[in-house]
A and B are shown apart, each in its own frame.
Chain A
Amino acid sequence: MSVVSAKFCQFCGKSSDEGDHAACQRRLSMIDPPRYCAECARRMVVQVTPGGWTARCSRHGEITSAR
């Protein structure tokens, strides 16, 4: 999962081009699933399970931790 080329930060929901998202990246790499859609910044419905997660945007569909 990468937020580098995304329009919006999946941790804080702000524009990826504005501000410093290093702390957001750290959280996403360690303990947080994506919370905001990278395409539209909508809050996603996230389900975490012991072995993975799914995150669903009402407009852009579902992403998962499955590789």
Chain B
Amino acid sequence: MTAAPEQIDVLDAAREQVLERGVGLDEQQVLQVLELPDERIADLLALAHEVRERWCGPEVEVEGIVSLKTGGCPEDCHFCSQSGQFPSPVRSAWLDIPGLVRAARQTRDTGATEFCIVAAVRGPDKRLLSQVRDGIKAIRADGNDIQIACSLGMLTQEQVDELVEMGCHRYNHNLETARSHFPSVVTTHSWEERWDTLRMVREAGMEVCCGGIIGMGETLAQRAEFAVQLASLQPDEVPLNFLIPNPGTPYENYPVVEGPDALRAVGAFRLALPRTILRFAGGRELTFGDLGAKQGMLGGINAIIVGNYLTNLGRPAQQDLDMLTDLNMPIKALSQTL
């Protein structure tokens, strides 16, 4: 009988491949990480943190986000309380320009370098783009030099060019989940349509922000598939959300992602994306609580959204800023991003 070849431990392989050479894990390796037993999570997070420090540095990028146009979206993203296709309690609302300026100022006052303007739409129409243009002008007129990102759904080339001209430096458009799982999550548009927008955004010179949501019924294999699909996009930023089962959505009864699974995902995504800004986004409050948030920050995360989200509330910004101080993690300064 021949002995089976000794399997190389995935974290040992990652130390050489990701930490030393900066090459992200492949799909099979990411899956192995996602399947690590609980007693290996600490080792995983420690390595992911080393990778983050080695390839991204010690700074943490802080961002605030705001919903410019809430609710009434024609798309059927099953996780989203803003879809007009589900009986969600979220009603349509528009934020006016003074409100947008105040939100940008609140964000800047936290020390954040990023402010993302978001709208629940399939893609922007003339009215929305006009509102964004006026909003950016007003934010600048307020003396606020924060970097402005937008998330307005799928774009045409003309709209991409218009956003560049307005001074939008980064565009968020999440692929949300693995390509193989996407049709279970969204039926009104395709993963490929989202990819096309991301390609245009990159070619136009804007930074690409693209992530997704963990916990939408995907298998661990699909979670691994998603990580490497994101890596192939080479995004500047990946926001990592954890499902918030919102009332009225098809996912309202889905379980909250368990802390250990979420931490495995954080570590795995860092090892698949060693050079990318990996941002803690929505759902971390439910999934992690306070202790887990620290573990994530010490497990490969190097960016956070502070304050509230689009329709859900986050922790008070000061609580997260205090956490970064406790962890001795410097906040990325605006001068470093220009």
Chain A residues close to B by CB (< 8 Å): 11-13, 30-33, 35-36, 43-53
* Residue pair B247, A12 in contact (C-beta under 8 Å): yes
Residue of B nearest to A65 (CB): B313
> For the complex, would chain B's binding face be called helix, strand, loop or mixed by DSSP majority?
loop
A54, B102: Cα distance in complex, Å = 14
Among B91, B306, B314: residue with most chain A CB under 10 A: B91
Residues of A within 8 A of B128 (CB): none
Cβ 8 A contact of B313, one of A12, A13, A30, A47: A30
Interface assignment of B317: CB less than 8 Å from any CB of chain A? yes
| Complex contact A51–B106 (CB within 8 A) | yes
Contact across chains for A49 and B90 when beta carbons are under 8 A apart: no
A48-B309 in contact (CB<8A): yes
A49–B66 touching, CB < 8 Å: yes
Please state if B317 and A33 are interface contacts (CB–CB under 8 Å).
no
A44 to B67, CA, bound (A): 16
Contact B308 A50 (CB under 8 A): yes
B28 sits at the interface (CB 8 A): no
Q: Is B103 interfacial (CB-CB < 8 Å)?
A: yes
Beyond A50-B103, A51-B307, A51-B317, whether A36 also contacts B285 by CB under 8 A is no
Chain B residues whose CB sits within 8 angstroms of the CB of A32 once the complex forms: 312-313
Q: Which 4 A-B pairs have the closest CB atoms?
A: A50-B307, A35-B89, A50-B64, A51-B106
Q: What CA separation (Å) do A36 and B88 show in the bound complex?
A: 11
Given contacts A12-B247, A13-B89, A31-B286, whether A50 and B312 have CB atoms under 8 Å apart is no
Q: Contact string, B86-99, partner A, CB cutoff 8 A, digits 1/0?
A: 00011111010001
Chain B interface bracket (under 10, 10 to 19, 20 to 34, 35 or more) = 20 to 34
Give the docked Cα–Cα distance between A48 and B89 (Å).
14
Contact B65 A50 (CB under 8 A): yes
Rounded to whole angstroms, the CA-CA distance of A13 and B244 in the bound complex is 19
B309 contacts which chain A residues (CB < 8 A)? 48
Could you tell me if B313 and A53 are in contact, using CB atoms closer than 8 angstroms? yes
For the A-B complex with A35-B247, A51-B308 known, give 19 more contacts whose Cβ atoms are closer than 8 Å. A31-B314, A32-B312, A35-B89, A45-B91, A45-B92, A46-B90, A46-B91, A47-B99, A48-B66, A48-B311, A49-B95, A49-B102, A49-B106, A49-B308, A50-B110, A50-B306, A50-B317, A51-B106, A53-B308
Residue of B nearest to A24 (CB): B247
Report the minimal beta-carbon distance from A42 to chain B, rounded to whole angstroms: 10
B106 close to A50 (CB less than 8 A): yes
- CB contact between B91 and one of A11, A31, A43, A50 (< 8 Å): that residue: A43
Can you list 10 pairs linking A and B with CB atoms under 8 Å apart?
A13-B89, A30-B285, A31-B285, A31-B312, A31-B314, A32-B312, A32-B313, A50-B65, A51-B307, A53-B313
CB of B177 within 8 Å of the partner chain: no
Q: Are B285 and A48 in contact (CB under 8 A)?
A: no
A44 to B310, CA, bound (A): 16
Q: Are A46 and B103 in contact (CB under 8 A)?
A: no
Q: Is the CB–CB distance between A48 and B313 below 8 Å?
A: yes
B249 contacts the other chain (CB 8 A): no
Report the separation of the CA atoms of residues A49 and B314 in the bound assembly, to the nearest whole angstrom.
10
**0/1 string, B304-327, CB within 8 A of A gives 1:** 001111111110010000000000
Q: Which residue of A lies closest to B283 (CB)?
A: A31
Q: How far is the CB of A37 from chain B (nearest CB, A)?
A: 11
The reply to whether B310 and A36 form a contact with Cβ atoms under 8 Å apart is no
A43: chain B residues at CB < 8 Å are 89, 91
**B306→A36 contact, CB < 8 A:** no
* A46 in contact with B93 (CB, 8 Å): yes
A44 in contact with B91 (CB, 8 Å): yes
CB nearest to A33 among chain B residues: B313
A45 to B90, CA, bound (A): 7
Residues of chain B with a CB closer than 8 A to A51's CB:
103, 106, 307-308, 317
Scoring B285, B310, B313 by chain A CB atoms within 10 A of each residue's CB, the highest score goes to B313
